[in-house]
Structure 1
Amino acid sequence: MAHHACLLTFWLFLIMPMWCLSTNKNECIYQGEEGTQGFYQDGDVILGGLFPLHSSPVATERAFQSKPAAVEYKDFSSRALRWMRTMTFAVAEINQRQDLLPKLSLGYHIHDSCDDIPVSVKRSLLLVNGQPEKERGASCADVRRQPSPVIVGDASSGVSMAVLRTLGSFQIPLVSYFASCSCLSNKKEFPSFMRTMPSDEFQIKALAKLVHYFQWSWVGLIGVDLDYARFAIQLFLKESVRYNVCPAYVHFYPVILSKEALRELMNIIRDSTATVILNFSRESTLQTILQECRRQNITHLQWIASEAWATSNALWGDFSDLLQGTLGFAIRKGEIPSLYRYLTLLNTSNIQTSHFLSEFWEDTFNFACTGRESLDDVYTLYSDVSQLRVSYNVYKAVYLIAHALHDMSTCVPGQGPFHNGTCGSLKYLLPWQVCLLSYMKRANFTTLGEDVSFDEHGDPIASYDLMSWQVASDGSLQLVKVGFYDASLKDETNLVINDSVIMWHSGNKVCAPVSVCSQSCLPGSRKARRKGEPICCFDCIPCAEGEISNETDSNDCLRCSREMWPNQARDQCLPKVLEYLSFWEPLGIVLWVVSTIGACLTVAVLCVFVMYRNTPVIQGNNMELSFMLLLFLCVCFLIGLTFIGKPTDWRCQIRYTAFGISFALCIACILAKTTVVLMAFRATLPGSDVMKWFGPAKQRFSVIFCSCIQALVCIIWLTIKPPFAANRTQFLSATIIVECDVGSEIGFWFVLGYIGLLACTCFLTAFLARKLPDNFNEAKFITFSMVIFFAVWITFIPVYVSTRGKYMVAVHVFAILASAFGLLLCIFTPKCYVVLLRPEKNIRKNMMKK
C-alpha cells in the first residue's frame, strides 16, 4: 500500500495541476496542461469517462532542450465519439426519469484517452481531482469542477490496467465497457474494477469450441504485443488442449509495426500450412497486416476475429475481398430507443461548442461547411446504430452506476451492506470509503429488457453472438448472426451454430475450409504421432488383425472379443462365421454324394450276392461272412454322413463310436474269412481236426468278440471323457471353428489303434494265405485291400493332426470312404466280375481245378 501511495504522490507532483500555489491563498494558479477538450455537464455526482477518440500517435524526435509539443494522432474514431455521446445520452435519460435517482442529478466529465497509457493515466487523475475553469484570479472553491468518484472506461485492457494501478490505492471504481482481458478479474490486483464487457475467459472458451466444431485442428495465433492478446492467447492454448487443437504458430507483433516486424509476421503466415488464423488485435494494426497480405497475395486465409474487431465496419471498405467469410464472436447487441435521434441532432451551431464535435464534423464533410449539412445525408460510423454492442455496454455502465447510487440513496439504516447494517452516505461520497463500489457489486437491474447482474469478479454473465462477415447487395458489410454462445447454459448446449447461413471466404456456403496438419484418420485406422511434432501432426496406420476403430482420429484400435471379428473396413466387430463341414458347400456335397454312392454300390453288391447266393463263387467264399461284411461296409459308408453338418454333442459321440465299432466289425469279418481260408487248407492234412474250431458259429463269435472289445473301449471312453462339440476361437481368425473335440485323446487313439491291430493281424494272415493252391483264393485280394487300408490310414494320421476345422473333418471322411472303397473293390469286385461277366467260371468244376 505504501508503494502505491508513493507512486500516486509521484504522479500527483509530476502531471497533476497544482492548486492555490500563489502567495495569495485566495488566488488559484493552474500548473500544467489544462486539458479542456472534452464533454462536461455539472450535476450532484459527476461521472468520469475515458474513451479512445484518437489513436496512432505520430512519431516525433525529442531534443530534450525545450518543452515537448503536444502529441498529434493520426486516427480519429467516429465510433468512439458515438460511445462518448451514448454516455451523455444515458446520463440525460436517467436525469429525466422519476423512478431512478429522483432527488439526485448526474453529470459527466469525459476525456479522450487517446488509447495511450500516459495520456489515460494523466486524464484519469484530472477526473478524480477536478479541474479548474480557464478564468484566473478566482478562488479555488469557486472554479474547481467536482471530482468524479467513478470512471467509465477505458476501452483497452492495457490502458485500464495502468489506470487501475494508479488509482487502485484509493479504491476509485473503474467500470470498463470494452476491456476484456481475463487478468482484470483478479480482485487481489484490481479490487476496484468492474465491467459490462464479458471476460476473455468466456470468449476464449467460445472460440475454442468454434474451432473444434469446424474440425480446425491446425490454427495460427497472432496478436498485438499487449496484455490483452497475451492473456487471450495463453487462455486459448490452455483451452484448446481439451479439443486436441494445435497452434501452427504463435506470434506477437509490436503495436507499431516496423518493416522488419511485418516481414517476419508475413513469413510465418505464408510458410505455414494453416488456413485458419485467429487474431487478437486492434483495427488500426490489422489494417497494416491486411495491406501486406494483399501485396504478397496471401488471400486464402480464413480469419477468426476476436471481439475487439468482430463487428468493425471500418476494415471492410478496403479489405472486403480478404475478410469475406470472417467469423467472430461479438458482444450482445442492444437497441437503444431515441439514440439515433440524439446522435444526429447536430448542426453547425451546437458543434462549435465542442472541439471533438467540430473535428468530427470537419472530417465527415471534408471541411466544406455551408451550414446546411445533415448527418441524415451521409453514412458514418458515428450515427450507425445497427450494431450497438460497445455503445450498449457504455449505456449499461452508466445505468450500473445510477442503480448503485439509487440503492445507496434508498438504503434503510440497519439493512445496509456495511458494518452493523449501516448505509453509505451520498452527502460525503468519498471513493476510498468503498461505499459506491460495494453497492455496484450488489447491483442487479433490468435495462432494455435485459437482466444485468455480475459475478464475484465483477464480470457480467457472458453472452456472445457469432457473426459472419458477408457481402450485401450493395457491396457493404453485412454482419449476419449465425449462432450464439451463452455461458449460462450447460457445456453441451452453450454453443449453437446455424451452418446453412454461413458464407465462407471462398464464397462457398456448403463446405467449411480445411485447416489441419494431418488429414483425419478414418475409422479402421489409428493415429501415430510424428516424432518431434505437435499432437495434431500424425500418420494414419490401419488397425492390426483382429482390431477395429469405429471413430475418426482414433488414438488406439480396440481388439474384438473372441467371438467377434472385424469387417473388411475394420470399423466394426461382427460375429465370427461358424466354420464346419456343411452339407451344402461344395466339399460337403462331394463327400455325401460319394458316401451315398459307396453305400448304394455296397447294397448293389449285396443284392448280387443274394441273387447268386447258390453259385459256387458265393458259397465257396464264406457267404455268411461276406453278407456281414457287406452290411458293415454299408454302415461304414453311411457313417461318413455323421461327420457332415454342424457338430453337436450327441452327433460327436455317435460319429466316433459308430466309426470305431463299424470298422472293427468289418476288419473282424475279414480276419475271420482269412483265418478260415488259412485253416481250411491246414485241415486237409492227415489227422488234423482244426476246422472244428472254425465252424460258422465260431466265426460269428469271433466277429462279435472282436467287436465287443472295441465296443467296451468306446463305452469306457464315453463314460470317462466323451467327445463333445467345441467352438475353437482364435484372435487372428475371422471364423469360429465348430468341431468335435475327442474328449479323451487316449480313447480316440485307442480306438484307432485297435482297428490298426485288427488290420495288421488280418494282413499277416492274408499274406500267409496268399499262395495257397486254390483256383479262386480270396486271401490275395484281402491282402491288397489291407495294403490300401494301411496306405489310407497311415497317410491319414499326419494329415489329420496338421489340419483344423472342416478340412480335418473332410480328411477323416475321406479316410473312411477310401478305406471302405478299398475293401469293397478289392474283395468283392473279382467275385462280381465272375458272377456277372464270366458265368462260365462260376461252376463247381471250375472251382475244384488246381
Structure 2
Amino acid sequence: MTLVSLIQLYIFTEKLLLTLDKFFSALSACSLSLPVLEKKGDVVVGGLFSLHDMVMEPSLFFTSTPTPTQCTSMKDSGSGGAMSSKGTCHGAIPAVIGDGGSTQSLVVARFLGVFHVPQVSYFSSCACLSDKKEFPTFLRTMPSDFFQVDALIQLVKHFGWTWVGVIAGDDDYGRGGANIFADGVRKLGACVALHETIPKTQAQTAISTMISKIRTSGARVILVFAVEQDTVRLFDEVLRHEGLAGIQWLASEAWSTAAVLSNPKKYHHILQGSMGFAIRRAYIPGLQDFLLRLHPSSPDAREDPFLVPFWEEVFQCSQGVPDSQERNVGKPSCSGAEELGGVKNIYSDVSQLRISYNVYKAVYVIVHALKAMRSCVKGKGPLPQHACPDIENIQPWQLLHYITQVEYVNPLGDEIKFDENGDPAAMYDLISWQLTSSGEMEFVTIGKFDETTSAGKKELLIQEQNIVWNGNQTQVPLSVCSSKCPPGTRKAIRPNLPICCHDCVVCTAGEINAIECERCLPEFWSNAERTVCIPKQVEFLSFSDTMGITLMVISLIGSFCTCIVVIIFFCHRTTPIVRANNSDLSFLLLFSLTLCFLCSLTFIGRPSDWACMLRHTAFGITFVLCISCILGKTIVVLMAFKATLPGSTAMKWFGPGWQKAIITSSTLVQVLICIVWLAVAPPTPRQLMPRESAIIILLCDEGSPIAFVLSLGYIGLLACLCYLLAFLARKLPDNFNEARLIAFSMLIFCAVWVAFVPAYISSPGKYSTVTEVFAILASSYGLLGCIFAPKCYIILIRPEKNTRKHLMSKSAKDKF
C-alpha cells in the first residue's frame, strides 16, 4: 500500500471516529433516568422497557455532522438498539431485566457480556440469542424461537398444509424466525410458496409488490413472523387489496394477541380466524387493583411524566398541562371524576397477561438468585476455595452464576429454570381470533404446545372442535400447490417448480399407488382403480368358455359319427365293400379314430398332473394305433395286387397275423416312448405369468422336449411311410382302390400337422392348446371322411355297386 493510501485511510478513520463520538454524545440529550422510575434499595436492578415505538434517529451518511437525536418526549428504551444501549450505561447495577425486542437485546447483550452483567429478557425470542459464546450473560423467560417455530411446523403438519407462505419482519427476530420456519417446512416435505420481508421504509411500491406476490403465489396459509409495528403496516396494505380476502394468517407470538390489530374493527374481516402461538398467560393476584390506583390527583402524579398523556389518551380529554396543549386541541377538559375502573382497555385488562407475566418471572428469578446468594454456607460456596459471595458488594458475574442455577415452582404453579443456553422450557397457548356476537375480537385458546410434558417431549394439543377459520368456516382451509393425487396415480413433478407442484399421472396396468407407482408381484395385478394388487385371473382352456365348449362339441360329434360308421359297417359286414381290405382292420381303425376324437377332451379343463400326463400319452398312442391300422390296410392293398401276379406268394407273408403284428409292434414303440417320457420327465402343469398381462396362463409343460419331439416325430414318420405306400398304390387297377383314399387322407393329415408346428409355437396362452386340439380334430375328421365316407356312400346310396361282380369288373366306365 502506498504512503498516499495510508494517509487517506488515516484521515477517513479519524472522521469516522469523530462522527460516532458526536452521535453518541447527542444521545445524552435523551436522559433515561427519572426519579419516578427509580427507587433505592439494598440491590438496584436495571430495567429496559419500550413505552414508545420509535425514536427519531438521524440518518448517518458519514459526510457531515449528524443532527441531534429527536426523542419522543418520553424517557424509555423506545424500539431502537441505540437507546437501549444508552440505558444500560446508567449506574452500577448487578443485573438488567430487558429488553423487549430481540434487536434491542442483541445490542445490549453484546455490551453487558463484556462486563459479565446478567441480562434476563422478558420478550426477546430470537434463536440467535441462545449462542452462549456470543452472548454469555444473556438469559430469558421468553422461549426461544426454535421452540415456537417447532410448534408452528407441527401445526402445519397437523392440518396437512403443503404450500405455505412466509412473511418476515426486517429485523433479527423476523428474519431469524422466518428462516428457521422455512427450513423446517422443507424438511417436513412441504414447500414455501413465498418468502418475503416487510420493508422498513414507508415506500408504497415495495410493500405493494410484496402484496402482489402473495396474490400470485396461490398460498392460502401465510405465516407473518414480525413485530406489531411491521405487522400493522402489512395489514394496512392488505386492506387496500380486496383480492387477498380468504387467506388464513398464522401469527408469531409477537402479534398473536396484539390489541393494536384486534381492537380496530377495520382488520376484523381479514384477521378473523387467524391463528398463532402466544406466550402462556397467567393471572397475577392484586395486579389489577395496583394498576387502577392511578389518578392525576394522586401525590405521585407530579413526579410521573407518563400519567398525564396516558390519562388524556384514555379519556380523550385535556388536563390543561402546558406540554399537552398542542396534542389536545379541541378536546374537552378533564373533570377529575374519571376512574380507570370504569374503562375497559388494554391497560386494565389483566385477562391477557403474557409479556407482563414474563417480567414477573424475570424479577423473581433475580430475587431467588439473591436469596440463594444470601443463603450460601461458608466453606460450601461456588467461589474459589468454596467461598461465598459478599452480599454487601454483589459482583455481576457472581449473581450470573446463581441466576443460571435458579430452579423453583412459582405461586402460579409453573416451574422456572433455564437450560444450558439460558432458555426456559417452551410453553405456548394456541390462540384463535374469533368474533363475538357483539362484534368484538376475542382470543380463544384452542390448544397448547408444552415442552414440559412427557419427560421433555414436545407435545401439540389442539381442540379442533373449537376452531373457527377465516371467513367463519369450520372446514380446514386447503393450501396446496397441487391437489393430492387420487389413488391409482403418481406424482409427476413439474419442471422448474417446487416438489409440491405436480401433475397426477395414472399408474400403468399392473402397478398400484402407495407413494409412487409400485409394480405388483408376478402373480398379482392391479385393480381398475390402481389402488390394490389382486390375484391375476387364471386362464386355461376350460369346459365353460366358448372355445372349450365348441371344441368339446366338435369332438363329441366326431366320436358320434365314428360310432355311426361302426354301426353301418357292422350291419353290412357281409357286403364286399366292408370285407375288402380286411374288415377287422376297418373296425380297429374306427375304434382308434373314436379314441382320437375322445383324447382331445383331455386337453380341455384345468391342467393337473394326471391330466397333463394323460393328454400327451393318450394322443400319441391313439394316433399311432390309427396310423398303424392305415399302414396295415395300405400294405394289404399292395400285397393283394402282388398276389394276382402269376407265381406270387406275397399274401402268404402278409396275412392277418402279420398285419396284427405290424400294428402291435408299431404301437408298442410309441408306448415305450411314452413310458420312458413319463418316467424321466413327465408333462406337468405350469403357470405362465407375463409381467404385462393381467392373467396367469395354466398349461401343460411337455416335461422333456426330446420325448415330445420323438412322440410327434414317430407319428409323422408312420404317416409319411403310409402316404408313400398309398401313393405308390394309387393307380393299381381296381374298381375300388382304397389306396387312393388313404393317400388323400394322409396328404390332409400331413398338411394339418405341418401347419400345426408354427401355429403352436406362435399361439399365446391357452390358444396353443386350442391349436393342438384343432389339429387332432382336423386330422381325425380328415381320416374319417376320406377313408370311410366314400364306403358309406356306396353302402347307403349306391348299393348296386356293393357287389363282388362290380368290384371285380375291369371295365373302365365302371371304375370308382
TM-score, normalised to structure 2's length? Answer: 0.88
Task: Please list, as runs of the form range in 1=range in 2, the aligned pairs for 1:75-114 lying within 5 A after superposition.
Answer: 112-114=76-78
State the distance in 2 between where 1:423 and 1:826 align: 127
Aligned residue number for residue 795 of structure 1: 755
State the distance in 2 between where 1:13 and 1:61 align: 11
Aligned residue number for residue 789 of structure 2: 829
Moved more, 649-658 or 534-543: 534-543
Aligned residue number for residue 257 of structure 2: 311
2:697 match: secondary structure? strand
Moved more, 63-72 or 771-780: 63-72
Q: Does 1:606 align with 2:566?
A: yes
Which residue among 477, 486, 508 is the counterpart of 1:512? 477
Q: Does 1:626 align with 2:586?
A: yes
2:306 match: secondary structure? helix
AA of the residue aligned to 1:613 = R
Aligned residue number for residue 79 of structure 2: 115
CA contact (8 A) 1:344 1:383 kept: yes
Aligned residue number for residue 459 of structure 1: 423
1:772-813 Cα offsets, whole Å, 9 max, x none, are 333333333223322321232122111111112111111111
TM-superposed CA distance for 1:750, in Å, is 2.1
Which residue among 367, 375, 396 is the counterpart of 1:410? 375
CA contact (8 A) 1:713 1:751 kept: yes
Which residue among 48, 51, 55 is the counterpart of 1:50? 48
TM-superposed CA distance for 1:836, in Å, is 4.2
Aligned residue number for residue 397 of structure 1: 362
AA of the residue aligned to 1:397 = A
Aligned residue number for residue 155 of structure 2: 210
CA contact (8 A) 2:599 2:618 kept: yes
Which residue among 443, 458, 462 is the counterpart of 1:497? 462
Aligned residue number for residue 443 of structure 1: 406
Task: Please list, as runs of the form range in 1=range in 2, the aligned pairs for 1:294-333 lying within 5 A after superposition.
Answer: 294-297=239-242, 298-316=244-262, 317=264, 318-333=266-281
Give the share of equivalent positions with the same residue, in percent: 46
TM-superposed CA distance for 1:366, in Å, is 0.7
Which residue among 183, 192, 197 is the counterpart of 1:252? 197
Against the structure 1 CA distance between its residues 164 and 497, is the aligned structure 2 distance closer, same or farther, given a 3 Å change threshold? Answer: same
1:616-650 Cα offsets, whole Å, 9 max, x none, are 33222422112222222222222212212222333
CA contact (8 A) 1:15 1:32 kept: no
State the distance in 1 between where 2:761 and 2:293 align: 104
State the distance in 1 between where 2:236 and 2:113 align: 40
TM-superposed CA distance for 1:270, in Å, is 3.1
State the distance in 2 between where 1:198 and 1:313 align: 21
Which residue among 294, 305, 308 is the counterpart of 1:358? 308
Moved more, 535-544 or 392-401: 535-544
- Count of aligned pairs between the two proteins: 768
AA of the residue aligned to 1:359 = P
Task: Please list, as runs of the form range in 1=range in 2, the aligned pairs for 1:37-76 lying within 5 A after superposition.
Answer: 39-57=37-55, 68=68, 70-72=70-72
CA contact (8 A) 1:37 1:355 kept: no
Which residue among 358, 372, 375 is the counterpart of 2:337? 372
State the distance in 1 between where 2:184 and 2:622 align: 78
AA of the residue aligned to 2:474 = K
Against the structure 1 CA distance between its residues 817 and 338, is the aligned structure 2 distance closer, same or farther, given a 3 Å change threshold? Answer: farther
CA contact (8 A) 2:494 2:501 kept: yes
Task: Please list, as runs of the form range in 1=range in 2, the aligned pairs for 1:516-531 lying within 5 A after superposition.
Answer: 516=481, 518-531=482-495
TM-superposed CA distance for 1:57, in Å, is 3.8
Q: Does 1:278 align with 2:223?
A: yes
1:54 match: secondary structure? coil
Moved more, 58-67 or 352-361: 58-67
* Gap runs ≥5 in structure 1: 1-6, 19-30, 77-110, 130-146
1:697-727 Cα offsets, whole Å, 9 max, x none, are 2111111111122222223333443322222
Aligned residue number for residue 334 of structure 1: 282
Aligned residue number for residue 487 of structure 1: 451
Q: Does 1:681 align with 2:641?
A: yes
Against the structure 1 CA distance between its residues 639 and 500, is the aligned structure 2 distance closer, same or farther, given a 3 Å change threshold? Answer: farther
TM-superposed CA distance for 1:660, in Å, is 1.2
Aligned residue number for residue 177 of structure 2: 232
Against the structure 1 CA distance between its residues 13 and 765, is the aligned structure 2 distance closer, same or farther, given a 3 Å change threshold? Answer: closer
State the distance in 1 between where 2:32 and 2:620 align: 121
* Gap runs ≥5 in structure 2: 1-16, 318-332, 811-816
State the distance in 2 between where 1:607 and 1:498 align: 92
CA contact (8 A) 2:225 2:251 kept: yes
Against the structure 1 CA distance between its residues 56 and 686, is the aligned structure 2 distance closer, same or farther, given a 3 Å change threshold? Answer: same
Against the structure 1 CA distance between its residues 691 and 496, is the aligned structure 2 distance closer, same or farther, given a 3 Å change threshold? Answer: farther
1:534 match: secondary structure? coil
Which residue among 438, 447, 452 is the counterpart of 1:474? 438
Q: Does 1:706 align with 2:675?
A: no
1:147-199 Cα offsets, whole Å, 9 max, x none, are 43222211101100101111111111111111111000000111111111111
Aligned residue number for residue 169 of structure 1: 114
TM-superposed CA distance for 1:467, in Å, is 1.9
Against the structure 1 CA distance between its residues 331 and 588, is the aligned structure 2 distance closer, same or farther, given a 3 Å change threshold? Answer: farther
Against the structure 1 CA distance between its residues 565 and 402, is the aligned structure 2 distance closer, same or farther, given a 3 Å change threshold? Answer: same
TM-superposed CA distance for 1:746, in Å, is 2.5
Aligned residue number for residue 570 of structure 1: 530
1:706 match: secondary structure? helix
CA contact (8 A) 1:501 1:509 kept: no
1:595 match: secondary structure? helix
Aligned residue number for residue 351 of structure 2: 386
TM-score, normalised to structure 1's length? Answer: 0.84
AA of the residue aligned to 1:537 = C
Against the structure 1 CA distance between its residues 37 and 233, is the aligned structure 2 distance closer, same or farther, given a 3 Å change threshold? Answer: farther
State the distance in 1 between where 2:188 and 2:314 align: 47
Q: Does 1:149 align with 2:94?
A: yes
